Amino acid sequence: MQNTQEIIFQEGDEWVCMVYISEDQLRAAIQDRKDAVVELIKIAQRQEQELRISDALKYYTWALRMLNTYKDKVKIDINGRRQDAKAWLNAHIPAMLDNIHISLSDNLIQDDPTVYDRYMVNLKADYAGMPVSTLQVSYYNGEHEISPVTFKSGEGTLAFPSLAGFQKIDLRVLYDYAADGRLYNSYIETTYPKRFKRLPFDAQAGKSISFNIDRDVITQRGTPTAPDYSATMGIPVQPAPQTGAPVTDSAGTSAVDPIVKPPRATIERNFEENPVEYINKMKEVETAIRGKNPESVKQLFTGEGFKIFTMIMKSGNVSVTKKKPDFTVERSNNFLIGKGIPVAIKVGKHISRENIVFRFDPQTGLISSLAYALTKRAEDDIFRQAQWSNDSRYTLLQFMEDYQTAFGIGRLDYIESIFSDDAHIIVGSTNASRGGSKGCFLSRDELADLNFKEPANVRYHTYNKSEYLQNVARDFKTKSYIQLVFEDTYISKVGDTGGYTDNEVLWIELKQQYSSSNYSDKGFLALQINLNPSQSVIKVRTWTPYFVPIDYLKKHFPIGREVSEADQAQND
């Protein structure tokens, strides 16, 4: 219980301590827990709608664990009907797990004899027949358990040192997040003591992918110094049984119905009428990636473009994950964009799945830059149906792609270039023991003024540009990998500006999953950006573990915020 009070007094040779809570405070605490259960279920439903399946399972499971320690019944509204929350969750969580289908992708298993975990097994995952946005699993690689492995936009990769004797791959969908729960708040923390009882859903969480490997059809071309990443194995794929309920655009009438929104309506994209020239160049780059020979395609790039390509190739063990990638080329007034090479990037035991995006110089046809694509959900949010110019959308899309890629490949020079010299930077951390030696902690008053809450184990720091860049540089040196995944995008224009050609200013807030070799967190990244096709600039950057309405950010960080004399002295 929280809000307890103490009375301490001495009786003879003994000290007495009485801890008590008033009846009003007790009733308020009970109501707080009830409200917390309802809020967790609402959050989970939003995550499920957007196919962020691991997050949905996490919040549903936390709500159920709280209900298991809660005496009274809690009613929730499901499609206009009042239902008992505990009974609904006990039926809905296993139904969600049943609706997750994982299968081999394109029969492609890659063999690289130059590394210990030589076999890369590419998988696809869907929920109720739709590719998951995010999903986390664990699996046994023949030696030990690997966890977590994250699927992005329906695709994931598992690594194995050997497949001898394997007739199936057993993996488990992660749904019960004890460590995250202990950090989230004190209510959930109490449901995860050191020895906590497992929930009875492991049978549904377990997935088994059967296949047969014919050793005679394994082909390896090249030498150990130049392995052929197109080597495949003959694997008959077992089609995933479609036992899930039909997709609905709102909460179903039954606890087993999935809660999934239809794909967001987006504007029509303009595709290049004669894309062959650009597709052929992307195919040449694909061959160079498979053969580990980036120098063979240097003539296809501008100097800057080849620099980025080289950094991508050096960021880990990069391999193409699809036999025959699907290439497309889009064109707008100022942009010529190619898509189509899905890759797995392996650093140690960590494997990230990305799709490489190409930007062509419209004048020369050379590849001027590359980046990792946003998730489909995040990109659809940018191209949703709204009154907004296409070039503004492509400018924002390219900016966010470059932003997440810069952290993935260590482009400190790019990060330095996109922050205004007087940028206001607020960094949150879910581990209070890390990263506070520099920068200024926000006080309670400052947090309240910014409408930021102060949850347990979260601390905020304010930095100037120089301090922030020092921290980023340190991260690049001390972390073997960094991966950002953006979803759940909110965009708001500032004022009635005419378009990006007029230096349009907007706010973008995205759900960010940050993963690295020694630290990870999830929260909301918000940026105030001055859009410009040649060089957009960040004026304000904030991170919080929860969504903060953009209207509050607009209020507290207006356009044209003047730098105080103290800030200026610090910058100098």
- H or E stretch including 147? strand 145-152
Residues 445 and 570 in one domain: yes
Q: Is the pTM of this model over 0.85?
A: no
* Number of alpha carbons in the 13 Å side-chain half-sphere of residue 353: 24
Note whether residue 108 is domain-resident.
no
Q: Which of 77, 97, 117 is the last residue of a domain?
A: 97
Question: pLDDT at position 559, please?
Answer: 72
Question: pLDDT at position 239, please?
Answer: 38
If you compute the radius of gyration of the chain from its CA atoms, what whole number of angstroms results? 26
Note whether residue 525 is domain-resident.
yes
Residues 364 and 457 in one domain: no
Q: What are the backbone angles phi and psi of residue 242, rounded to the nearest 5°?
A: -95, 85
- Show the beta-strand stretches assigned E in 216-347: 222-223, 226-227, 317-320, 328-331, 336-347
Note whether residue 123 is domain-resident.
no
Residues 295 and 333 in one domain: yes
Q: Are residues 134 and 156 in contact, defined by beta-carbon separation less than 8 angstroms?
A: no
In the structure encoding, which two tokens stand for residue 475, read together? 């991260």
Q: Which of 341, 373, 405 is the last residue of a domain?
A: 373
Residues 413 and 538 in one domain: yes
Question: pLDDT at position 489, please?
Answer: 85
Angle at the Cα of 290 from the Cα atoms of 287 and 293, rounded to 5 degrees? 75
Question: pLDDT at position 402, please?
Answer: 97
Amino acid at 506: L
Question: pLDDT at position 219, please?
Answer: 34
- Would residue 487 be called left, alpha or beta, if left means φ above 0 and alpha means ψ between -120 and 50 degrees? beta
Residue of 316, 309, 311 lying closest to 288 (CA atoms): 309
Question: pLDDT at position 139, please?
Answer: 94
Note whether residue 111 is domain-resident.
no
Q: Are residues 255 and 95 in contact, defined by beta-carbon separation less than 8 angstroms?
A: yes
Q: Are residues 322 and 106 in contact, defined by beta-carbon separation less than 8 angstroms?
A: yes
- For residue 468, what are the domain limits? 385-572
Contacts of 154 (CB under 8 A, 6+ apart): 124, 125, 126, 131, 132, 133
- The per-residue pLDDT string of the chain (572 residues; one tens digit each, 9 = 90 and over) reads 667 889 999 989 999 999 999 898 888 888 888 999 999 999 899 899 989 999 999 999 999 999 998 888 999 988 888 999 999 999 999 999 999 999 987 666 788 888 888 888 889 999 999 999 889 999 999 889 998 899 988 999 999 998 887 888 899 999 999 988 887 878 888 899 888 889 999 999 999 988 766 543 333 333 333 333 333 333 333 334 444 444 444 445 578 899 988 777 888 889 998 999 999 999 999 999 999 999 999 999 999 999 999 999 999 999 998 888 999 999 988 899 999 999 999 998 889 999 999 999 999 999 999 999 998 888 988 998 777 788 888 999 999 999 999 999 999 999 999 999 999 999 887 654 433 344 566 665 666 666 676 655 677 889 999 999 999 999 999 999 999 998 888 888 876 554 444 567 889 999 898 999 988 888 899 999 988 877 889 999 999 887 888 888 888 888 744 444 444 444 33
Residues 439 and 562 in one domain: yes
On the 0-12 / 13-18 / 19+ scale of CB atoms within 10 A, 279 is: middle
Q: Are residues 122 and 237 in contact, defined by beta-carbon separation less than 8 angstroms?
A: no
Rounded to the nearest 10°, the torsion over CA 277, 281, 284, 286 is -120
Residues 567 and 435 in one domain: yes
Note whether residue 159 is domain-resident.
no
CATH assignment at residue 402: 3.10.450.50
How far apart (Å, rounded) are the C-alpha atoms in residues 456 and 400? 30
Residue 237 DSSP class:
P
Residues 335 and 423 in one domain: no
Tokens 């003994």 sit at which residue?
14
Structurally, how many domains does the chain consist of? 3
How far apart (Å, rounded) are the C-alpha atoms in residues 262 and 180? 29
Question: pLDDT at position 253, please?
Answer: 57
Q: Are residues 399 and 531 in contact, defined by beta-carbon separation less than 8 angstroms?
A: yes
β-sheet bridge partners, residue 170:
208
Note whether residue 234 is domain-resident.
no
Note whether residue 477 is domain-resident.
yes
Note whether residue 288 is domain-resident.
yes
In the structure encoding, which two tokens stand for residue 253, read together? 């009438």
Question: pLDDT at position 457, please?
Answer: 63
In the structure encoding, which two tokens stand for residue 1, read together? 């219980």
Residues 507 and 545 in one domain: yes
Dmax (CA) of the chain: 95
Q: What are the backbone angles phi and psi of residue 365, rounded to the nearest 5°?
A: 80, 0
In the structure encoding, which two tokens stand for residue 399, read together? 């900016």
Residues 400 and 337 in one domain: no
Residue of 165, 155, 106, 133 lying closest to 47 (CA atoms): 133
Tokens 């008053």 sit at which residue?
445
Q: Which of 43, 63, 97 is the last residue of a domain?
A: 97
Amino acid at 4: T
Question: pLDDT at position 440, please?
Answer: 66
Residues 91 and 24 in one domain: yes
Q: Are residues 18 and 6 in contact, defined by beta-carbon separation less than 8 angstroms?
A: yes
How far apart (Å, rounded) are the C-alpha atoms in residues 258 and 128? 7
Residues 361 and 413 in one domain: no
Residues 434 and 572 in one domain: yes
CB atoms within 10 A of CB 159: 24
